[in-house]
Amino acid sequence: MPITVHAVRSVPKAATASLALVTSEAVSFGVDGFDAAVLEAVGFEGKADQVHLQPAEGGFTGLVGLGPAAEVTEATVRRAGAVLARSCSRHARAAAGLPVDVSVPAAEARRALAEGVILGGYRYTAFKSSAGEDGGDSSRRLDRVDVVGSASAGAKDAVARGAAVAAGVCVARDLANEPGGSLTAPAFAEKTEAVAREAGLESKVWTTEDIEAASLGGLLGVNRGSTHPPRFVELTYEPEGTPTATLAYVGKGITFDAGGLSIKTAQGMMAMKMDMCGAAAIIGAMSVLPAVGAPVRVKAYLPMTDNMLGGDATRPGDVLTIRNGKTIEVLNTDAEGRLILADALSLACEDEPDAIIDLATLTGACMVALGPSIAGLMGNDEPFVDQVRAAADRAGERVWHLPLPADYVKQFESSVADIKNIGGPHGGALTAGLILKEFVDDDIPWVHLDIAGPARAESDDGEITKGGTGFGVRTLVELALGYTRPTPG
């Protein structure tokens, strides 16, 4: 279970660890309860990520640095919350004090701190022999953090919102971290239904027969090499009152990607249980929407399968017919994500939403271009691109706008089908985005986020923990909270 976070007026007696977030200026002026000479001797200057701990009655007290006050943002506070959680990991209950000399509003600081504490304290322990009976990590004792300063309704609401968003990220991380051998498509669908029930979302799971009846040729083609049947899951969030708009969230749900007959290398397969992080992020985000009261209606479209090498696996050169009637010549079976997304995007367009966003661990080329921590952002509508980018900025998730050059379309022209499923040797992230664009109606604003890099981390860093990161959850929640329809004319 995630750490719980509460807003309180003063440090509770039950807290055996009490830490304050401080700026470098606060340290230079002196911090009550801490000897300036001692801080100087240990080199604590209040720099970002610095921690100083000292014994106190029944436990310890300490400081977490934020850096210069003028540079403190919500992201700084979120990161400090993660540092605090790790520093207090051996204590069941800790207290956290917020800085007073920064320009970040108190509500935003409390929300960011709650997010950071929960995300920094996250651990995936389902397969650890040291886990407790409830699946919890017996080596982690921190269960509760109290944010000190106010117990007002506003303070409690801010902390609760941060905790809700972080819990959604944890949902996505749990799904991403589960091995592909146990998280098959049917199991993935069952877990998604369970999340939906708990959150109060509508859900619908399509079986193989339903998928065949719906003519989802891309999903069926990718699934041909698998011993596990595919699934297609729809989730729907309905706000209270009249929705201000309808958004479609489309996520790639490849539960394990061996590459099909175009098999990956052993090294290339090691992290391929996480090829479903796009779908996982959407499930996590959808679970948050009722708690934060998003004013828009959101429907999720989640195709699920693995990509294996069975006796009847799709062969290079085969042609698949997608839901919207377009045909794709499959020349590389390891370019499978675009095939299942093609079906899902076609279905989303049929429901005529105000806008569509898809998330996918789609291309290694995007990681070559942007590295491991930044998602590629592409789209067919600049105002919607701007809204998604603004939502990501508010959420503290990094994205970079990439082009969709019209002249690159000729790279995936096919002599036997409407298009090929791969482009040329260069610009793979862009041609993949352009292939997806073939399955989106021109009059529907659409954005594609290639999250191949930031969906997974090699080590802990701030609120990011090793393994699945849950990247995209916070952006999708912010988008649902702040989306506005374009003004006519």
Chain centroid to CA 26: how far?
Answer: 34
Whether 264 sits among the annotated catalytic residues: the reply is yes
Pairing of strands 399-401, 327-329: unpaired
Question: Both tokens of residue 25?
Answer: 């200026």
How far apart are alpha carbons 14 and 146 in whole angstroms? 10
Question: Both tokens of residue 365?
Answer: 């080329």
Residue holding tokens 């802990």? Answer: 460
Question: Both tokens of residue 261?
Answer: 């007959």
Whether 326 sits among the annotated catalytic residues: the reply is no
Annotate 298-365 with DSSP letters as a single string: EEEEEEEEEE---TTPPPTT-EEE-TTS-EEE-S-TT--HHHHHHHHHHHHHHT--SEEEEEE---HH
Question: Both tokens of residue 208?
Answer: 């193989």
How far apart are alpha carbons 479 and 282 in whole angstroms? 12
Q: Which of 379, 236, 239, 229 is nearest to 305 (CA)?
A: 229
Tell me the angle at which helices 337-350 and 428-437 cross, rounded to the nearest 10 degrees: 30
Q: How many CA atoms lie within 13 A of 119 on its CB side?
A: 36
**What is the 8-class DSSP label of residue 123?**
-
Print burial letters for 298-327: b (CB count within 10 Å at least 16), e (below 16).
Answer: bbbbbbbbbbbeeeebbeeebbbbbbbebe
Q: Which of 270, 233, 252 is nearest to 306 (CA)?
A: 252
Query: Secondary structure of the chain: what % helix, strand, coil (to 5)?
Result: 35, 20, 40
Per DSSP, the three-state class of 443 is: coil
**What is the 8-class DSSP label of residue 250?**
E
| Catalytic residue selected from 338, 398, 437, 456 | 338
| Catalytic residue selected from 47, 128, 144, 264 | 264
Tell me the angle at which helices 277-292 and 153-177 cross, rounded to the nearest 10 degrees: 160
Per DSSP, the three-state class of 25 is: helix
| 70 burial type by CB count under 10 A (0-12 exposed, 13-18 middle, 19+ buried) | exposed
Q: Decide if 198 contacts 287 (C-beta within 8 A).
A: yes
Q: Which of 93, 25, 83, 28 is nearest to 60 (CA)?
A: 93
Q: Which of 428, 228, 423, 437 is nearest to 345 (CA)?
A: 437
How far apart are alpha carbons 168 and 281 in whole angstroms? 8
Catalytic residue positions, numbered: 264, 338
